[in-house]
Structure 1
Amino acid sequence: MSEEDPEIAGLVKCTVISCPNYFHKVLSQADEHIFFDFPSDEDVCATWKEKCGISAYHDVSNSKICSTHFRQTDYTDNTKSVLKPEAIPRENLGWMFGMPEVKLTKTPKFELIKEAVDTNERLVQRFEELMDEMKLLTEKVDLYKKKNENSDKEIFRLRRLIAKYPFKKKNGKIETNLICKVFSQAQINMLLGKKKVVWSYDDMAMAFTLRHIGNRECYLYLKDTLNMPLPSLSAVQRWVASNKS
């Protein structure tokens, strides 16, 4: 014996998909469930359709919703027989709660379902790829941050070092006390281009030592080619002669 269609048998299922309750068109049910027609107000009716998960264009002239989907505050009195004009089904909507509209007139084709699943899988895969890329980029950003921090520390160190050797101007030329740690005052005067330079005893002694550590050509190479601020060889010879007597 074939199963009889509920609507043909005079039964109308509650429009909420997850609801198991039926309403008999001819015989009134004497149970705890009361069934309500969809409201005539278009805006409220559209909201009912959305909550039930049916298309906005679905014909609901013979559709009903049972009382299990309404709250106590949706009724005009305690009998739960009359709904307020603005009442909306919110209870026991099951998995349909908050879901978009779904047409019930036709069963979705397998191809459409498979396409949706494949699309979802591709999106998940792309999301994972983007997360991996973001992880690599985050590691690079952290590396550059550390490099910047090291650079900032080095800049700070160099600035403190420079601060120990303040610049000062003299006769329009720049000199620093850093030079004083390497050259004597006579050598500095020579570097500054002064015509007359008075060499100290230490200057001449150093020049004499350099001359006799190497040879004449080596001394001239340091003085004339490398531009080392040194006394002339004739000045060194006069100094040696004056110190022998």
Structure 2
Amino acid sequence: MYKRVCSKHFRLEDYEDRIQASIMNTKPKRLKKTAVPSLLLPYEFKPRLPPPKILPEHIKTECETEEENILVHFEDNSQADIHMTLIVPKTNSDTVKENYQILTKENELLKKENDHLKEECIQLQNRITQLEGSFKKENLNLKQKCVQLEDKVARLEGDLKEFNSRFEEKVKQRFKHFLSPNQVDVVLKKQCRVRRWSKDELLKAFTLRCLSRKSYIYVRETLNYPLPAKSTLEKFVSTGVFRPEPNSCTVGVAKKLYNGSLAKEIVVERLPTKISLPSIGETYHSVRLE
């Protein structure tokens, strides 16, 4: 069984559950083991003191002449009554002192923490300045390297252009003996195909076609040799401009002449001068090469 004690005589610091009570918005109940009542105590009475004894004068003089120099002074208090003194509670002053001590300690801790944070801030600022300086140096070095690389790239591009121009000149000089200008442009990939073949190019291609159909297809499609297509040769032959040189065409080339539904086959043999295609009036028939 716990004894009930008036809570008016105890301070808030004397309770163990003051934090929980402040959170739960209730009154604290459990006192500490070392709690002592200190608030609103009853009046205390001083006991009646006995009247002071009067010493003779010779004793008094002896006491005054002692080395300890102790003065003994007694007052006549024969009519002294019991004095009732009121003990003023020291709650306000004690709490103020304790709060002051707590606040001073907290202030000292905060000052130390503030000084520590200031030192860290200064260190971080110094580190930032060092990093900024190093970054600026690296940035300048990288800019210089970029300028050097750009100059190097420009020099390499100029060298590449010179090399390409020299290469084209060498290719044209080497290939001019057996390739036409149009064929050289196709080989150098200046144009994907020839828009207009010259007469000599068509005659040479037709001569190769006369030699062998399979060889023409092999050279054109497998070896990627620039030669006109089959339809181009057929148009060239059907225009009537075809005038082969003597001994330039071989035997065994078959052509089919179309005129509506009527078809005739002729065989071109080795002729000394020219090949003339049959015509109706002034128009030539279309020719298909086998």
TM-score by length of 2: 0.26
User: Which structure: larger Rg?
Assistant: 2
Structure with bigger RCO (C-alpha 8 Å, 6+ apart): 1
